[in-house]
Amino acid sequence: MKSFLQEVSLGLSKKNKKLNSKWFYDFHGSKLFEQITKLEEYYPTRTEKKILRDNKIEIASKIGKSAVLIEPGAGDIKKIAIFLGSLDNPKKYIPLDISEDYITKISKGFKKKFPNVAIAPKAYDFSRNNKPPFKVNSSENIVIFFPGSTLGNFEKKDGIKFLKMLKSKFKAKMIIIGVDLIKDIPTLISAYDDKKGVTANFNKNILRRINTELGGNIDLNSYKHLAIYNKSKKRIEMRLKCKKNSNIKVNGSKYLIKKNEEIHTENSHKYSIKSFKNLANKAGWKIKKTWVDNKKLFSVHCLALDKSG
């Protein structure tokens, strides 16, 4: 996988070492994330699912008739199933995921549950702002479903680019999007550093992939999972802290990771309703409706094209 090697080589060569969180997700990593979503500490998934369940009729009404539903980073595709049955004659569902093996396998079960909905799973890396892996018909009612606060993994400027890309390349008329809200720091930290260590294993999966796919020799036990809240940037940062000086090898190249040096693997930005509205507006979208849980932990938004600009 050439792009994986290129990104790993670049990231480990930097003074402030970093690896892209999208490389967490092979089949094994996707299964680990499934486990994370079921953890007591991880509030986003169950909270968002409740919002979708409680408001599925209104969401379906906003989406309208004969929708072509596209879900970037679809994962286990369980959330769309919450309101799919409430939609008016949906035309097609296209789940996109970086792990082709995983999305293909998961989609088989979906077909059995919704036999009347055409499903066309595709392998796709949405972080690259690539053109869609299928032919787009701009006359269709194209709706993007982007749950799980995945937008928070983007830097703000890249999040704006992504939302613009959904409009320009995917020809989306609407977006249903999940956004994690700013809240108390202990709740945030525990969501990304669970007691069972599942998130730690998920974070280290990127190292395991380097070993198995790129000929690496990394000792996973030499790295400690960290979850830190950056107050100024309003985001959780996941890192891997090296416990001892390590000379690691990747595809024949060597990199020195010093004791206590950290590899930055993921950001998860948190928003207020106002700050997300500002970001959406900059990308040419306006909020038509916002749904929030009673504890104000999480939000789901319906975005429509802003035709005023």
Q: Are residues 211 and 111 in the same domain?
A: no
pTM of the model: 0.93
Q: What is the pLDDT of residue 212?
A: 97
Q: Is residue 155 part of a domain?
A: no
Q: Is residue 15 part of a domain?
A: yes
CA–CA dist 271, 273 (Å, integer): 6
Q: Are residues 28 and 102 in the same domain?
A: no
CA–CA dist 257, 263 (Å, integer): 9
Q: Are residues 225 and 258 in the same domain?
A: yes
Q: What is the pLDDT of residue 309?
A: 55
Q: Is residue 153 part of a domain?
A: no
The residue assigned the tokens 């090296």 is 242
* C-alpha triplet 90, 92, 95: angle, nearest 5°: 125
Q: Are residues 97 and 202 in the same domain?
A: no
Structure token digits, residue 29: 């990593």
Q: Is residue 151 part of a domain?
A: no
Q: Which residues contact 209 (CB under 8 A, 6 or more apart)?
A: 4, 23, 26, 29
Q: Are residues 112 and 204 in the same domain?
A: no
Q: Are residues 48 and 31 in the same domain?
A: no
| Helical H segments across the chain, by residue range | 2-13, 27-37, 43-54, 56-63, 80-84, 100-113, 156-168, 185-191, 198-214, 273-282
Give the helix/strand (H/E) hosting 146. strand 141-146
CA dihedral 83, 87, 92, 98 (to 10 degrees): -20
Q: Are residues 48 and 96 in the same domain?
A: yes
Q: Is the pLDDT confidence value at 172 over 50?
A: yes
Q: Is residue 117 part of a domain?
A: yes
Q: Is residue 9 part of a domain?
A: yes
Q: Is the pLDDT confidence value at 1 over 50?
A: no
CA–CA dist 30, 202 (Å, integer): 9
With 0-12 / 13-18 / 19 or more C-beta atoms within 10 angstroms meaning exposed / middle / buried, residue 97 is: buried
Distance of CA 93 to the CA centre of its chain: 18
Q: Are residues 19 and 113 in the same domain?
A: no
- Spatial contact of 234 and 270, defined as CB atoms under 8 Å apart: yes
Per the structure, the complete domain to which residue 30 belongs is given by 2-40+193-269
Q: What is the pLDDT of residues 173-230, one digit of tens each?
A: 999 999 999 999 999 999 999 999 999 999 999 999 999 999 999 999 999 999 999 9
Q: Is residue 165 part of a domain?
A: yes
- Spatial contact of 267 and 237, defined as CB atoms under 8 Å apart: yes
Count of structural domains, the chain: 2
Q: Is the pLDDT confidence value at 124 over 70?
A: yes
Q: What is the pLDDT of residue 237?
A: 98
Least trusted range by pLDDT, from 68-82, 126-140, 265-279? 126-140
Q: Are residues 201 and 275 in the same domain?
A: no
DSSP 149-217: TGGGGS-HHHHHHHHHHHHHTS--SEEEEEEEBP--HHHHHHHTS-TT-HHHHHHHHHHHHHHHHH---
Least trusted range by pLDDT, from 80-84, 130-134, 158-162? 130-134
User: 98 vs 263, which has greater pLDDT?
Assistant: 263
Q: Are residues 295 and 210 in the same domain?
A: no
- Spatial contact of 143 and 172, defined as CB atoms under 8 Å apart: yes
Q: Are residues 178 and 294 in the same domain?
A: yes
For residue 89, the domain's CATH number is 3.40.50.150
Q: What is the pLDDT of residues 262-296, one digit of tens each?
A: 999 999 999 999 999 999 999 999 999 999 999 99
Instruction: Please name which of 152, 187, 142, 220 lies closest in space to residue 295, comparing C-alpha atoms.
Output: 187
Q: Are residues 64 and 179 in the same domain?
A: yes
